[in-house]
Chains A and B, each alone.
With several copies, the nearest count.
Chain A
Amino acid sequence: MSIPYSKFKMRIDELKTPLSEIRGLDLSIGYVVEEWEEPQGPTPFPSIATLRKWDHVLLNRYRPLYLPFCDLCCLCTYGKCDLSREKRGSCGLGLSDQQSRLVALVCSIGASTHVSHARELFEKLVERFSRDHPIDLGSQVRVEMPITRLVTGVKPRTLGDLEIVLDYVERQIVQTLASVHTGQEGSWIDYESKVFHLGMLDHVALEVADALQVAALDFPKADPESPLVSLGLGVVEVSKPVILVIGHNVIPAGAIVDYLERMGIRDEVEVCGLCCTAHDITRYEKKRAKIVGPMSWQLKFIRTGVPDVIVIDEQCIYTNVVEEARRIGAVVIATTDKACHGLPERSSESPEEVVEELLSGRIPGALILDHDKAAEVAVKTALKLAPTRLKLKAQLPLEDVVEYAKKCTKCRECERACPQNLPISHAMDRASRGDLVGLTDIYEKCFACNRCEYVCPRQIPVLNVILKAAGEKRSSEVFKIRVGRGPIQDTEIRAVGRDIVLGAIPGVVAFVGCANWREGAVDVPIMAREFAFRRYIVVASGCSAMAIAMYKNDEGKTPYEEFTGEFTPGGVVNVGSCVANSHIAGAVIKIANIFARLPLRANYMEVADYILNRIGAVGIAWGAMSQKAAAIASGFWRLGVPVIVGPHGIKYRRMLLGDGERDEAWFLYDAKTGDKVYGGPVPEHLFYAAESRGEAMIMAAKLCIRPADTPQGRAIKLTNYISLYKKFYGYDKLPQDLHLLIRTESDIPITYKDEVVRFLREVNWRERPSISDPTLLEEVVRKRLKVMK
Chain B
Amino acid sequence: MSVEYWLRGEIPQPLKATVITDVKVLGGRIKQHKKPVILLGSELYRLERIVSSDIVATIVDIANAVKADLTTSSSDVVQRLDSMGFKRYRVGFPMSVVQKLARDREYDLAIFIGFQYHYEWLLLNYLKHYAYRHLNTLSLEPYGHPNATWTMPSLPIPLWHKNLLALTEVLKT
Give residues in A with beta carbon < 8 Å to B. 65-72, 79-82, 84-85, 95, 410, 412-413, 416-417, 419, 421, 423, 426, 451, 455, 518, 647-648, 650-651, 655, 657, 659, 688-692, 694-695, 699, 728-730, 732-733, 736
Contact = CB atoms under 8 A, between A and B. Distances in A.
Interface residues of B, number: 45
B9 A417 contact: yes
B41 A659 contact: no
Contacts, number: 126
A423 B46 CA distance: 9
B126 A65 contact: yes
Contacts of B129: 66, 68, 71, 84-85, 95
Enumerate the 10 nearest inter-chain pairs by beta-carbon distance, A residue then B residue, closest first: A82-B9, A67-B122, A728-B75, A71-B13, A692-B42, A80-B9, A647-B119, A82-B14, A650-B122, A82-B8
Interface in B90-141: 90-91, 93-96, 98-99, 103, 115-119, 122-123, 125-126, 128-130, 132
A71 B95 CA distance: 20
Contact of B95 (A79, A410, A655, A736): A655
Contact of B14 (A71, A655, A699): A71
B74 interface: yes
B95 A657 contact: yes
B126 A657 contact: no
B13 A65 contact: no
B118 A691 contact: no
Interface of B: 1, 6-11, 13-15, 41-42, 46, 50, 73-75, 78-79, 82, 90-91, 93-96, 98-99, 103, 115-119, 122-123, 125-126, 128-130, 132, 143, 154, 156
A112 B79 CA distance: 47
Contacts of B8: 82, 413, 416-417, 455
Nearest to A693: B42
B7 A691 contact: no
A647 B13 CA distance: 21
Given A84-B129, A692-B73, A421 B90 contact: no
A647 B46 contact: no
Given A68-B125, A659-B103, A733 B119 contact: no
B118 A647 contact: yes
**Residue among A65, A95, A419, A692 with max Cβ neighbours from chain B (10 Å):** A692
A421 B116 contact: yes
Contacts of B118: 419, 421, 647-648, 650-651
Given A71-B15, A72-B14, A417-B9, A694 B75 contact: yes
Contacts of A651: 118, 122
A423 B130 CA distance: 31
A417 B95 CA distance: 26
B115 A691 contact: yes
A728 B75 CA distance: 5
Contacts of A70: 13
Contacts of A689: 95, 119
A657 B96 contact: yes
B75 A729 contact: yes
Contacts of B75: 694, 728-730
Contacts of A65: 95, 98-99, 126
B9 A81 contact: yes
Contacts of A82: 8-9, 14
Nearest to A654: B126
A736 B91 contact: yes
A72 B95 contact: no
A732 B118 CA distance: 32
Given A416-B7, A657-B95, A736-B90, A695 B73 contact: yes
Contacts of B98: 65
A691 B119 contact: yes
Contacts of A659: 99, 103
B126 A67 contact: yes
Contacts of A66: 126, 129-130
Contacts of A410: 156
